[in-house]
Protein backbone atom coordinates (compact mmCIF):
# COMPACT_ATOMS: atom_id res chain seq x y z
CA UNK A 1 0.00 0.00 0.00
CA UNK A 2 1.24 3.50 -0.81
CA UNK A 3 0.94 5.90 2.13
CA UNK A 4 1.94 9.57 2.02
CA UNK A 5 2.94 11.27 5.27
CA UNK A 6 2.49 15.04 5.05
CA UNK A 7 5.02 16.44 7.50
CA UNK A 8 6.97 13.22 7.19
CA UNK A 9 10.27 14.77 8.32
CA UNK A 10 8.96 16.14 11.65
CA UNK A 11 8.80 14.61 15.13
CA UNK A 12 5.74 12.43 14.59
CA UNK A 13 6.21 12.12 10.84
CA UNK A 14 9.63 10.46 11.10
CA UNK A 15 8.35 7.96 13.64
CA UNK A 16 5.29 7.18 11.53
CA UNK A 17 7.34 6.70 8.36
CA UNK A 18 9.63 4.27 10.19
CA UNK A 19 6.74 2.21 11.55
CA UNK A 20 4.89 1.93 8.25
CA UNK A 21 7.99 1.15 6.21
CA UNK A 22 8.83 -1.50 8.78
CA UNK A 23 5.53 -3.17 7.94
CA UNK A 24 6.44 -3.32 4.27
CA UNK A 25 4.44 -0.40 2.88
CA UNK A 26 5.53 2.15 0.29
CA UNK A 27 5.78 5.35 2.30
CA UNK A 28 6.45 8.86 0.98
CA UNK A 29 7.79 11.35 3.55
CA UNK A 30 6.38 14.58 2.11
CA UNK A 31 7.51 18.01 3.28
CA UNK A 32 8.90 21.21 1.74
CA UNK A 33 12.39 19.75 2.16
CA UNK A 34 11.40 16.83 -0.10
CA UNK A 35 9.71 19.07 -2.69
CA UNK A 36 6.12 18.89 -1.44
CA UNK A 37 4.54 22.13 -0.24
CA UNK A 38 0.89 21.91 0.78
CA UNK A 39 0.53 25.70 1.13
CA UNK A 40 1.46 26.38 -2.50
CA UNK A 41 0.37 22.96 -3.77
CA UNK A 42 3.82 22.29 -5.27
CA UNK A 43 4.57 18.60 -5.71
CA UNK A 44 1.25 17.36 -4.28
CA UNK A 45 -0.18 15.64 -7.35
CA UNK A 46 3.07 13.78 -8.02
CA UNK A 47 3.46 12.70 -4.39
CA UNK A 48 -0.15 11.51 -4.08
CA UNK A 49 -0.31 9.58 -7.36
CA UNK A 50 -1.38 6.04 -6.52
CA UNK A 51 -1.69 6.72 -2.78
CA UNK A 52 -4.44 4.99 -0.82
CA UNK A 53 -3.82 6.75 2.50
CA UNK A 54 -2.59 10.23 3.39
CA UNK A 55 -1.61 11.06 6.98
CA UNK A 56 -1.32 14.78 7.75
CA UNK A 57 0.91 15.49 10.74
CA UNK A 58 2.27 18.81 9.53
CA UNK A 59 2.52 22.09 11.45
CA UNK A 60 3.11 25.73 10.49
CA UNK A 61 6.55 27.26 10.84
CA UNK A 62 5.09 30.37 12.50
CA UNK A 63 2.69 30.33 15.44
CA UNK A 64 1.40 33.87 14.89
CA UNK A 65 -2.40 33.57 15.01
CA UNK A 66 -3.02 34.91 11.50
CA UNK A 67 -0.18 32.84 10.02
CA UNK A 68 -1.45 29.66 11.66
CA UNK A 69 -4.97 30.12 10.32
CA UNK A 70 -3.69 30.95 6.84
CA UNK A 71 -1.45 27.87 6.90
CA UNK A 72 -4.11 25.38 7.93
CA UNK A 73 -6.71 26.78 5.53
CA UNK A 74 -4.41 26.86 2.50
CA UNK A 75 -2.73 23.57 3.31
CA UNK A 76 -6.02 21.83 4.03
CA UNK A 77 -7.74 23.01 0.85
CA UNK A 78 -4.81 22.12 -1.40
CA UNK A 79 -4.19 18.75 0.19
CA UNK A 80 -7.82 17.61 0.23
CA UNK A 81 -8.35 18.73 -3.37
CA UNK A 82 -5.26 16.79 -4.46
CA UNK A 83 -6.50 13.73 -2.56
CA UNK A 84 -9.85 13.91 -4.34
CA UNK A 85 -8.08 14.04 -7.70
CA UNK A 86 -5.87 11.09 -6.74
CA UNK A 87 -8.74 8.99 -5.39
CA UNK A 88 -7.25 8.72 -1.88
CA UNK A 89 -9.35 6.39 0.26
CA UNK A 90 -8.41 7.61 3.74
CA UNK A 91 -7.30 11.00 5.06
CA UNK A 92 -5.80 10.64 8.54
CA UNK A 93 -5.16 13.89 10.41
CA UNK A 94 -3.45 14.58 13.72
CA UNK A 95 -5.15 17.29 15.76
CA UNK A 96 -5.34 18.26 19.45
CA UNK A 97 -7.67 17.34 22.31
CA UNK A 98 -9.71 20.38 23.29
CA UNK A 99 -9.52 22.12 19.92
CA UNK A 100 -13.19 23.12 19.93
CA UNK A 101 -12.96 24.41 23.54
CA UNK A 102 -9.79 26.50 23.13
CA UNK A 103 -10.74 29.19 20.65
CA UNK A 104 -8.97 32.02 22.51
CA UNK A 105 -5.73 30.58 21.12
CA UNK A 106 -4.82 31.21 17.48
CA UNK A 107 -3.28 27.76 17.00
CA UNK A 108 -6.46 26.01 18.08
CA UNK A 109 -8.57 28.27 15.85
CA UNK A 110 -6.37 27.11 12.98
CA UNK A 111 -6.78 23.44 13.94
CA UNK A 112 -10.54 23.92 14.17
CA UNK A 113 -10.57 25.32 10.63
CA UNK A 114 -8.47 22.37 9.45
CA UNK A 115 -10.87 19.87 11.01
CA UNK A 116 -13.87 21.60 9.45
CA UNK A 117 -12.30 21.44 5.97
CA UNK A 118 -11.67 17.72 6.42
CA UNK A 119 -15.22 17.01 7.54
CA UNK A 120 -16.69 18.94 4.60
CA UNK A 121 -14.31 17.61 1.94
CA UNK A 122 -16.04 14.37 0.99
CA UNK A 123 -12.74 12.46 1.38
CA UNK A 124 -13.13 9.57 3.87
CA UNK A 125 -11.27 10.56 7.03
CA UNK A 126 -10.21 9.98 10.61
CA UNK A 127 -9.28 12.92 12.84
CA UNK A 128 -7.11 11.96 15.81
CA UNK A 129 -7.17 14.53 18.61
CA UNK A 130 -4.15 13.91 20.85
CA UNK A 131 -3.13 15.41 24.17
CA UNK A 132 0.17 17.26 24.64
CA UNK A 133 3.38 15.28 24.13
CA UNK A 134 6.00 14.76 26.85
CA UNK A 135 8.46 16.08 24.28
CA UNK A 136 6.78 19.51 24.53
CA UNK A 137 7.43 19.94 28.27
CA UNK A 138 10.47 22.15 27.69
CA UNK A 139 8.47 24.48 25.45
CA UNK A 140 5.66 24.65 28.02
CA UNK A 141 8.19 25.55 30.71
CA UNK A 142 9.81 28.20 28.55
CA UNK A 143 6.39 29.62 27.71
CA UNK A 144 5.74 30.21 31.42
CA UNK A 145 9.19 31.55 32.29
CA UNK A 146 9.24 34.81 34.26
CA UNK A 147 12.00 37.41 34.61
CA UNK A 148 12.66 36.37 38.22
CA UNK A 149 13.75 32.87 37.19
CA UNK A 150 10.48 31.17 38.11
CA UNK A 151 8.10 29.37 35.77
CA UNK A 152 4.45 30.27 36.26
CA UNK A 153 2.09 27.59 34.99
CA UNK A 154 -1.54 26.68 35.33
CA UNK A 155 -2.27 23.86 37.82
CA UNK A 156 -5.13 22.72 35.55
CA UNK A 157 -5.21 19.05 34.65
CA UNK A 158 -3.92 17.61 31.40
CA UNK A 159 -3.04 14.11 30.25
CA UNK A 160 0.25 14.14 28.30
CA UNK A 161 1.60 11.26 26.25
CA UNK A 162 4.74 10.04 24.51
CA UNK A 163 5.34 10.86 20.85
CA UNK A 164 6.20 7.19 20.25
CA UNK A 165 2.74 6.21 21.48
CA UNK A 166 1.14 8.79 19.18
CA UNK A 167 3.01 7.29 16.23
CA UNK A 168 1.96 3.77 17.22
CA UNK A 169 -1.72 4.73 17.21
CA UNK A 170 -1.45 6.62 13.93
CA UNK A 171 0.32 3.71 12.25
CA UNK A 172 -2.46 1.37 13.33
CA UNK A 173 -5.17 3.74 12.11
CA UNK A 174 -3.40 4.35 8.80
CA UNK A 175 -3.77 0.64 8.06
CA UNK A 176 -7.44 0.59 9.09
CA UNK A 177 -10.47 1.96 7.32
CA UNK A 178 -11.62 5.57 7.80
CA UNK A 179 -13.88 6.20 10.79
CA UNK A 180 -15.34 9.44 9.42
CA UNK A 181 -15.25 11.01 12.87
CA UNK A 182 -12.93 12.40 15.52
CA UNK A 183 -11.33 10.20 18.15
CA UNK A 184 -9.35 11.26 21.22
CA UNK A 185 -6.12 9.73 22.50
CA UNK A 186 -4.17 10.60 25.63
CA UNK A 187 -1.64 9.42 28.15
CA UNK A 188 -2.44 7.07 31.05
CA UNK A 189 -2.13 9.69 33.82
CA UNK A 190 -4.14 12.83 34.49
CA UNK A 191 -2.01 15.39 36.33
CA UNK A 192 -1.63 19.11 36.90
CA UNK A 193 0.39 20.89 34.24
CA UNK A 194 2.52 22.71 36.83
CA UNK A 195 3.16 19.42 38.66
CA UNK A 196 4.15 17.55 35.48
CA UNK A 197 6.53 20.24 34.25
CA UNK A 198 8.11 20.42 37.72
CA UNK A 199 8.86 16.68 37.53
CA UNK A 200 10.29 17.18 34.05
CA UNK A 201 12.58 20.03 35.11
CA UNK A 202 13.79 18.17 38.20
CA UNK A 203 14.66 15.11 36.08
CA UNK A 204 16.72 17.34 33.78
CA UNK A 205 18.49 19.06 36.65
CA UNK A 206 16.83 22.36 35.77
CA UNK A 207 16.69 24.45 38.94
CA UNK A 208 13.92 26.80 37.91
CA UNK A 209 11.08 26.97 40.44
CA UNK A 210 7.55 26.20 39.32
CA UNK A 211 4.85 28.55 40.62
CA UNK A 212 1.32 27.19 40.14
CA UNK A 213 -0.92 30.10 39.17
CA UNK A 214 -4.58 29.68 38.26
CA UNK A 215 -4.54 33.03 36.46
CA UNK A 216 -1.75 31.95 34.11
CA UNK A 217 -2.83 31.13 30.57
CA UNK A 218 -1.59 28.34 28.31
CA UNK A 219 -0.16 30.26 25.35
CA UNK A 220 -2.88 32.87 25.78
CA UNK A 221 -5.69 30.44 26.56
CA UNK A 222 -7.50 30.45 29.91
CA UNK A 223 -7.37 27.02 31.49
CA UNK A 224 -9.56 24.73 33.57
CA UNK A 225 -9.46 21.00 34.29
CA UNK A 226 -11.55 20.20 31.21
CA UNK A 227 -9.66 22.31 28.65
CA UNK A 228 -6.91 19.83 27.69
CA UNK A 229 -8.21 16.52 29.03
CA UNK A 230 -9.84 13.86 26.84
CA UNK A 231 -13.42 12.79 27.44
CA UNK A 232 -14.94 9.47 28.32
CA UNK A 233 -14.13 6.80 25.77
CA UNK A 234 -10.75 8.22 24.81
CA UNK A 235 -8.04 5.74 23.90
CA UNK A 236 -5.27 5.80 26.52
CA UNK A 237 -1.68 4.93 25.66
CA UNK A 238 0.73 3.03 27.95
CA UNK A 239 3.79 5.20 28.62
CA UNK A 240 3.81 7.02 31.98
CA UNK A 241 5.73 10.22 32.59
CA UNK A 242 8.23 8.67 35.00
CA UNK A 243 8.96 5.84 32.56
CA UNK A 244 9.47 8.33 29.73
CA UNK A 245 11.76 10.47 31.88
CA UNK A 246 13.83 7.43 32.84
CA UNK A 247 14.11 6.37 29.18
CA UNK A 248 15.09 9.92 28.14
CA UNK A 249 17.87 9.96 30.74
CA UNK A 250 19.25 6.65 29.44
CA UNK A 251 19.30 7.78 25.80
For the chain, how many structural domains are there in total? 1
Element (H, E) at 90: strand 90-96
pTM of the model: 0.95
Residue 251, pLDDT above cutoff 80: no
The CA distance from 138 to 205, in Å, is 12
Q: Reply yes or no on whether the pLDDT at 222 is more than 80.
A: yes
pLDDT digits (tens, 9 = 90+) for 58-117: 999 888 889 999 999 999 999 999 999 999 999 999 999 999 998 888 899 999 999 999
- 147 band by pLDDT with thresholds 50, 70 and 90: confident
Range of the domain at 153: 2-250
**For all residues of the chain together, what is the average pLDDT?**
95
For the domain that residue 71 is a member of, what is the CATH number? 3.40.50.720
Between CA 233 and CA 31, with CA 119 as vertex, the angle to 5 degrees is 95
Amino acid sequence: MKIVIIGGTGLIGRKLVERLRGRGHEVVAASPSTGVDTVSGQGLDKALAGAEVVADVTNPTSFDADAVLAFFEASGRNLLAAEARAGVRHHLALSVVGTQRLQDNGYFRGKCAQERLIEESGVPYTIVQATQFFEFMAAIADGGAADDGTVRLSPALFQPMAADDVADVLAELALSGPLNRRIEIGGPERMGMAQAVERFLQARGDGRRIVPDEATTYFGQKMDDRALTPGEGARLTPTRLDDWLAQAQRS
